[in-house]
Homo-oligomer: A and B are copies of this chain.
Amino acid sequence: MRRDTLALVDRRLLPDVGAGHETVAAAHHVYEHLIALWAPGAIEAAFDLGVFAALADGPATAEALAGRLEVDQRGMRVLLDALSAYDLIDRGSSAGGVRYGLRAGLRECLLPDGLYSLAGKVRYDRMLAWTAWRNLAQAVRGDGSAVPQHNQISTTEYESLVRGINFWAPPIVSILAGALRDRGWPAGPAAPAMLDVGCGTGLYSQLLLQQFPELTGVGFDVERIVSIARAQSERMDVGDRFQPLAIDFWQRDWGTGFDLVLFANIFHLQTPDSARELSIRASKALAGGGVVAIIDQIVDDRADADSVQDRFFRLFAASMLATGGGDAYPLSDYDEWLSVAGLRRAALVDTPMHRILLATHA
């Protein structure tokens, strides 16, 4: 699964001398970026056609799968070969011909129902991402009519997306829990209380509740999402300690005395003004000795860093531009918003595709 095993150009065979050799090598490099379109195309087609679900019953030939899914035999063979080229399914020859099988580790994320299934993300992309990215130039021009505004996407689309990015949570929560413990959190003898602002499916809270058996939590989100969060809390065996509430967190009071105020993927959706407002509200809700944890695409602008995180964050910002709303804000902006709210940054920790900013009262 190392990225470099998926190169589509055999670079060893590119000439390193001769007229224009640098341009030719560069063109191969850019071409490889251009055909990156093929990966989501192949994966999403397989979702659409039910290929992964069919392969969950066991390895099969292209002919057998084509018959079962009522598609063209050659088309099925070509699609399965493409998925194997992306290391997503296994391809093996046997006496009965070439057979294709679902990879064990990939099974849960390619099937529709699992906790870490990408099906929701795929559904969202089918509805929004292709058109948005095909029309990115219009968004850069500032042509708002071309961009689907985030708060205009339908509840169905938002629901798809929010479940489809559950997979981000486990490594983040594992790293967050370690960072909190390193800081001696929770500080007091009483059972700690957590507030999860814009909780989505509540997965960040649910995983934290599993890590801290004394912890209880409250989550705020819109009604339809809150019902997903409630059901998922039950399945995660923390339903008695997590209370997802249908609350507009811009209008309602948040309460006080929380030992942890959590924002998972909330700040990147804000304008600078609304981000400042969230910080102020978090500061008011935070108990003495409590911690605000902001999980987000926080660009580290303290150096000319070329980290995996900063690279992803800069691309994520373009995704937000394409699909409407939000930005990947630099650390200096976060520091300013915290400062206005009487908070200060205590730590900044890397995770696979995010950073966690921990803050306390100043």
Residues of A within 8 A of B (CB): 1-4, 6-11, 13-15, 18, 20-45, 48-49, 70-72, 74-76, 78-79, 81-82, 84-86, 88, 91-93, 103-110, 114-118, 121-122, 125, 129-130, 133-134, 136-137, 139-142, 167, 170-171, 174-175, 304, 307-312, 314-315, 317-319, 321-322, 327, 350-353
A139: nearest residue on chain B (CB-CB)?
Answer: B75
Given the known inter-chain contacts A40-B36, A43-B34, please indicate yes or no for A22 contacting B105, CB distance below 8 A: yes
Q: Which of B11, B15, B130 contacts A37 (CB 8 A)?
A: B130
A41: nearest residue on chain B (CB-CB)?
Answer: B133
Within 8 Å CB of A170, what residues of B? 15, 18, 20-21, 24
Within 8 Å CB of A41, what residues of B? 133-134, 136, 318, 322
Q: Is the CB of A106 within 8 A of B30?
A: yes
Q: Is the CB of B3 within 8 A of A122?
A: no
Q: Is the CB of A78 within 8 A of B140?
A: yes
Q: Is the CB of B319 within 8 A of A35?
A: yes
Q: Is the CB of A93 within 8 A of B31?
A: no
Give how many copies assemble into the complex. Answer: 2
Cβ contacts A to B, 25 pairs, < 8 Å: A8-B315, A13-B351, A15-B171, A18-B174, A22-B104, A23-B105, A23-B107, A27-B117, A30-B88, A33-B40, A33-B86, A33-B88, A34-B40, A36-B36, A37-B37, A40-B133, A41-B136, A41-B322, A44-B136, A48-B137, A74-B327, A75-B140, A76-B140, A78-B317, A79-B140
Within 8 Å CB of A106, what residues of B? 26, 29-30
Q: Which of B71, B103, B109, B117 contacts A140 (CB 8 A)?
A: B71
* Minimum C-beta distance from A188 to chain B (A): 28
Q: Is the CB of B108 within 8 A of A309?
A: no
Given the known inter-chain contacts A27-B116, A109-B23, A167-B24, please indicate yes or no for A45 contacting B311, CB distance below 8 A: no
A33 to B106, CA, bound (A): 13
Within 8 Å CB of A125, what residues of B? 34, 37
A91 to B9, CA, bound (A): 26
Q: Is the CB of B318 within 8 A of A38?
A: yes
Q: Is the CB of A20 within 8 A of B85?
A: no
Within 8 Å CB of A351, what residues of B? 10, 13
Within 8 Å CB of A93, what residues of B? 304
Q: Which of B2, B21, B27, B43 contacts A30 (CB 8 A)?
A: B43
Given the known inter-chain contacts A30-B88, A36-B39, please indicate yes or no for A10 contacting B308, CB distance below 8 A: yes
Within 8 Å CB of A110, what residues of B? 30
Q: Is the CB of B42 within 8 A of A136?
A: yes
A178 to B79, CA, bound (A): 35
Within 8 Å CB of A3, what residues of B? 3-4, 6-7, 32
Given the known inter-chain contacts A24-B167, A27-B118, A38-B318, please indicate yes or no for A8 contacting B75, CB distance below 8 A: no
A351 to B171, CA, bound (A): 40
Q: Which of B23, B70, B115, B322 contacts A20 (CB 8 A)?
A: B115
A201 to B212, CA, bound (A): 67
Q: Is the CB of A13 within 8 A of B171?
A: yes
Q: Is the CB of B25 within 8 A of A1?
A: yes
A7: nearest residue on chain B (CB-CB)?
Answer: B3
